[in-house]
Chain A
């Protein structure tokens, strides 16, 4: 981590728990709001961290959502265990979704997850293997 790193807030995300789904990202959002972060950044963080959290709930065996605060940026790190994304390139295409029918019926998994995260971040990194996926979403202050 670079020198300007200041603080990490972390939240555990449980796989398949659709009742708690959204609470982690919502806590991050409200925390940053109360800290006085600018409105248009809040929007980016709300959308990206929500998508990241829902992805963990739907597609992984569970993981964490971290909110790393730097002097000049905010980085949302989503970290989960297995099964990983087989074809990352494809998953980054708008409209592509591996969500099952039952999940889609809940209104999730329209295939906008990754593309949306990319769209609303200033820098976007993703690494995935069968052990899990790590996504880093950078939003500059």
Chain B
């Protein structure tokens, strides 16, 4: 497993904000510092967002060195769909592209082009197959959440590759053909709104090649981009697809695909509620459940700079005030591409977990319950676990002890004092 979230122990004050917001209960506070269990972490970025002391930061990746000192003959930047929302309202999108080039890239491939085609693939698959509802797979954090907490819903996942992957594949092919280059002479860099995409590249959930070499957290290059933008040189522009750009905001994906019977949910807590409904068999009359881990969708990604609601308004402004001049070269080949299966993927097989034994499972559960009944039930997090039940599980697994519960400890001291 590759990490994309770094933790600065000196900044952590053990405030318990992160352990409570982590949707998979992956964080514990041990000896006064937060600790992430990487097997459970789905890279949603929630901990980065909620930490008041900025103890979590995106991993500083060596993309800078790669970009400037590597042997790539052609360096491609893939711009993510929320990117255009990160600049003041009315900013010329061609200028944004030019600023990206100025950072040292040879070409920019706009993810919105791929997004438009991925939208078509989604619609096609929904029309072809009976599963209802289909659940979106472009947010890697949600796919991992489902794998981790809702494995019974895995066969509802639409399993269509995300625009990042399709964009990288197409950009690579184009460069190979046009410039007569080999695969390893091309470097593909994705300007990412979130840590989830980083993990999707280093350890994809599916059996596909990500085609991306480096993921650049948007916030780490934002300053440079902004400074170039202010200089305001014009240059060539390859216009984004407005339809594809809709993907930046929750609901835009379904809209761009031309769906009418869909539900768009954003934010982890909302997603968990909707997944519960699907699991209970309640949404079989809906075609597509679009799920994005971040508030308002990818405009709310952790590596973005601008407030999600402002970014959304900026994107809407672009959608409403720009003429669509995009030319998606590969659009004519869509049918062929779809038939060949490039849009689809399957999940990596799970390791076998061994035979389930009800008797043992009940004994274990009763033991945990026994420990749990001794705890005060405040779910305050002071022991370092997000809930009393999680603490009971940790004690059962020998990862914590009963008197790590500060409430119990305080009671004990009071009693001893009497």
Contact = CB atoms under 8 A, between A and B. Distances in A.
State the main secondary structure of chain B at its contact with A.
helix
B280 A34 contact: no
B364 A35 contact: yes
Contact of A35 (B276, B282, B365): B365
A38 B280 CA distance: 16
A116 B154 contact: no
A6 B154 contact: no
Given A22-B280, A34-B365, A43 B152 contact: yes
Contacts of B281: 46-47, 50-51, 116, 120
Contacts of A7: 362, 366
Q: Chain B, interface size: which category?
A: 10 to 19
A103 interface: no
Given A29-B279, A46-B281, A141-B356, A35 B362 contact: yes
A70 interface: yes
Residue of A31, A43, A51, A71 most packed against chain B (CB within 10 A)? A43
A71 B280 contact: no
B330 to A, nearest CB: 37
Contacts of B362: 6-7, 35, 69
Contacts of B353: 36
B227 to A, nearest CB: 50
Contacts of B149: 33
B358 A71 contact: yes
A46 B356 contact: no
B151 A26 contact: no
B359 interface: yes
Interface string A21-65: 010011001010111111110110011001100000000000000
A4 to B, nearest CB: 9
A110 to B, nearest CB: 9
Contact of A25 (B280, B356, B359): B280
Interface string B356-383: 1011011011100000000000000000
Contacts of A22: 280
Nearest to B366: A7
Nearest to A108: B282
A38 to B, nearest CB: 6
B152 A36 contact: no
A120 B284 CA distance: 14
Nearest to A48: B281
A34 B389 CA distance: 11
B361 A36 contact: yes
A38 B356 contact: yes
A6 B359 contact: yes
B358 A47 contact: no
Contacts of A25: 280
B280 A46 contact: yes
B279 A35 contact: no
A26 B276 CA distance: 8
A40 B365 contact: no
A39 B280 contact: no
Interface string A113-124: 000100010000
B279 A43 contact: yes
B347 to A, nearest CB: 12
Given A50-B281, A69-B362, 9 more contacts: A6-B362, A7-B366, A35-B361, A43-B152, A43-B279, A46-B152, A50-B280, A72-B358, A120-B281
24 contacts: A6-B358, A6-B359, A7-B362, A7-B366, A26-B276, A26-B280, A29-B279, A29-B280, A35-B362, A35-B365, A37-B361, A39-B151, A39-B152, A42-B152, A43-B279, A47-B280, A47-B281, A50-B280, A51-B281, A70-B358, A71-B358, A72-B358, A141-B356, A141-B358
The 4 closest A-B pairs by CB, nearest first: A47-B281, A39-B151, A43-B152, A50-B280
